[in-house]
Amino acid sequence: MPSANAKSTIVGGPYTNLDPAGGVIHLNLTNYPKDKGLYIFQVVRNRASDNARPTVINMDNAVDVVTTANHADVVFTAVGKFGSTDCSVVECALWAQFDGASGSYQLTDEDQYLSSISFAAATAPANPADTIEASVNGAVLATNNPGTLVYRTPVTLTVKTGSGAAPTIKSSTADCSVTGNLIQALKGSGGCDFEVTSPGNTTISKKVSHYPFILAKGVQIVSQKRNSIKTGKTVALSAETNFGETISYTSVTKKICAVKGNQVTGLKVGNCNLALTAAGTSNYLALGTNLSVVVSKK
């Protein structure tokens, strides 16, 4: 039986950097009275003297270590705030005393502060995240459903943010490029991902969204400035497509016009029909189209 002056030996921890939402402390009790229970309280430490009984006690998380309890591991869950007490402002501690069945309301030799306790800084409540809506040609994009981007066919990525903050757009891969809000594919296969970031503002948090695109082959275009020719005259047609491929011309109406390289000669009044071809690559399709040039009288 412990002497009148003996106190239970209570060790444990952790006592610092506790989670303010519920910091778990493990306590090991030895040399405790076998016939009496103990309360463990979270309290505001009373600095009137070393063992001055606390006057502010949190009853909600009190642990009654009854005689049959597992004294080797008593679990106590401390909180950052209770009642009007904020443990980041005042000194909180764990306090032990006999329980109600053992004369808890009397000053006893079991009264002791186990340790002061402190908590990790409470995380400031997060601002709500911003919202981002991205669209191309009026069609709203999904972050989980890839759009299609055609090789070297720039499109405008229109972005609206809920906060009104100016967004930034960047390509996550080298296969696409971004200039302002103009995005384009530098390849005709594979995929790209564009990262859109809104910085948010003082009340709305940053938001990052990713928009995937599948890349598709480009279409070669021929810009022709001539659509008519006089008989006996020779004119130059476009030599290259928009992707720099050499255009091969073949006259389908050999009596109306003759062609050599990209030079066409009007032979006879009529419609000069030309077949145009150009090689394709992994980035763009081969060209295969027709061109009609009116051959008129000189």
Partner 1 sequence: MALIGTSMASAASVKSPNGAILTVSKTSSINTGDKLTITGSHFDETVGIYLALCKIVKKIELPTPCGGGIDKTGATGSSIWISSNPPPYGVGLAKEYLPGGRFSYTIRVSPMIGKLDCRKIACAIYVRADHTRSDDRSFDIAVPITFKK
Least gap, CB of 135 to partner 1 (angstroms): 23
Contact status: 211 vs partner 1 (CB under 8 A): no
| Half-sphere exposure in the Cβ direction for 175 (13 Å, CA) | 19
Per-residue burial over 163-181, b if 16 or more Cβ lie within 10 Å, else e, is bebebebebeeebbebeee
Contact status: 238 vs partner 1 (CB under 8 A): no
On whether the CB atoms of residues 149 and 216 are closer than 8 A, the answer is yes
Structure tokens at 159: 């972005």
Least gap, CB of 166 to partner 1 (angstroms): 17
> 174, 203, 223, 225: which one contacts partner 1 (CB under 8 A)?
174
Least gap, CB of 236 to partner 1 (angstroms): 17
Instruction: In whole angstroms, give the CA distance from residue 158 to residue 138.
Output: 8
On whether the CB atoms of residues 255 and 267 are closer than 8 A, the answer is yes
Q: Quick one: 99 or 175, whose CB is closer to partner 1?
A: 175
The residues, any chain, with a CB within 8 Å of residue 142's CB and separated by 6 or more, are 211
Contact status: 183 vs partner 1 (CB under 8 A): no
Binding residues for partner 1, rule CB under 8 A, total 17
Q: Quick one: 231 or 281, whose CB is closer to partner 1?
A: 281
> 79, 94, 175, 217: which one contacts partner 1 (CB under 8 A)?
175
Taking alpha carbons only, the member of 177, 172, 167 closest to residue 135 is 167
Q: Interacting stretch for partner 1, rule CB under 8 A, among 93-101, 169-177, 198-206, 225-233?
A: 169-177
Q: Interacting stretch for partner 1, rule CB under 8 A, among 17-25, 198-206, 266-274, 280-288?
A: 280-288
Instruction: In whole angstroms, give the CA distance from residue 148 to residue 52.
Output: 74
Amino acid at 283: N
Contact status: 242 vs partner 1 (CB under 8 A): yes
> 41, 194, 213, 284: which one contacts partner 1 (CB under 8 A)?
284
Residue ranges binding partner 1 (CB under 8 A): 152, 171, 174-177, 186-187, 218, 241-245, 281, 283-284
